[in-house]
Structure 1
Amino acid sequence: MSVLLLVIPIALGLGGLGLAAFLWALRTGQYDDIEGAEYRVLRDD
């Protein structure tokens, strides 16, 4: 039972960190041009 007192805050902290990283990626425009990347791979410069 005492293990839960350690594991639950760690899990919540990691989940919050993942959520913060996802929200940061949304705000900085990481997902704006999702279809353009597949065409840039095929383009030969």
Structure 2
Amino acid sequence: MSIIYFLIGCSIMLALVFLGAFFWAQRTGQNDDMYTPGVRILLDDEPQEEKK
């Protein structure tokens, strides 16, 4: 029975870690631009100059 208490504690700690990582990502602007990565493949790249 004590293993269930241990597993519940581990799952709560893991959930708190993921919740903290989510809020950290939101605060640092990880999800600010959701449009550009999806259309980046459609945009033309500038031609690169040949190296001499």
TM-score, normalised via structure 1 length: 0.84
Unaligned residue ranges in structure 2 (runs of 5+): 46-52
| Higher helix proportion (structure 1 or 2) | 1
Bigger Rg over Cα: 2
Query: Within 5 Å, which residues of 2 pair with 1:1-40?
Result: 1-40=1-40
Q: Over aligned residue pairs, what C-alpha RMSD do you find?
A: 1.1
- Give the ranges of 4+ consecutive aligned residues of structure 1 lying more than 6 Å apart after TM superposition: none
Give the number of aligned pairs: 45
Bigger relative contact order, structure 1 or 2 (CA pairs below 8 A, ≥6 apart):
1
Unaligned residue ranges in structure 1 (runs of 5+): none
| CA deviation profile, 1:2-43 (whole Å, cap 9, x unmatched) | 111210110000000000000011001111000111122333
Quick one: percent identity of the two aligned structures?
Answer: 42
TM-score, normalised via structure 2 length: 0.75
